[in-house]
Amino acid sequence: MSGNVQLLNDTLAAARSEGRSALIAYLPAGFPSVDGGIEAVKAALDGGADVVEVGLPHSDPVLDGPVIQTADDIALKGGVRIADVMRTVREAHAATGKPILVMTYWNPIDRYGVERFTAELADAGGAGCILPDLPVQESAPWREHADKHGLATVFVVAPSSKDARLAEITAAGSGFVYAASLMGVTGTRESVGAQAEDLVRRTRATTDLPVCVGLGVSNAAQAAEVAGFADGVIVGSAFVKRMLDASDETAGLEGVRALAADLAKGVRGKA
């Protein structure tokens, strides 16, 4: 079975044709439980997210701040496995018809087996993978299997990336480019900053791929700001925090749905 890279491409192109940025939500699998995590992804999509990144919980997440680390710890203590990540992708995509990616560090895939992982993700209806710590120069085996199975390979660029490095990264990627808005880990911030706009400008000079900005966006006003210069707005910690701070799972799901609706207004300039 082929994955859904074309669905991802079409979704991002449709947002652009509407004169807006796409809203991309991040939620970890297995949090607060496997079933609860699936419902959270569906809630984000139902609320207005165009795309969801499903996080594969990791014991040492170098890119993730304390909010996502806390959720990952809960998922890992609950015994989450790669099979649960695949089930999350499968059920959320089947319920919504929207593109679902997996965001993961390289080590779990390497241990699981690249061919096995890509085949299972495609079979689950996944659209691709975001791989923040896989060096482009070591990515050929992954990209070969991802291409074979119809999966996007999304790489992360940072403000520290030199122009030549940006060109190398974007030439190898597909789906979109994940532009980290600042140096550091994920988390909500008061301001997304000018670094992000400069990074998007420099990245666009190297590629026709959509450039989507993450790290720091937590409300509709920030989403509107980023939507003014990026093809997509990526929000993670703010969604996870809604689940963490809720009195119970039902309230958490309502919080996720409401935040997605608010952010969806932001990317449409209606905040």
Which residue numbers are catalytic? 53, 64
Give yes or no for a contact between 210 and 232, defined as CB atoms under 8 angstroms apart: yes
Start-to-end Cα distance in the chain? 40
State both tokens at 204.
């666009």
The span from the CA of 95 to the CA of 206, in Å, is: 36
Helix (H) or strand (E) run with residue 254 in it: helix 249-267
Give the residue ranges of DSSP H helices in 23-173.
34-47, 66-77, 82-96, 106-112, 114-123, 140-148, 163-172
CB atoms within 10 A of CB 107: 13
State both tokens at 32.
């607060």
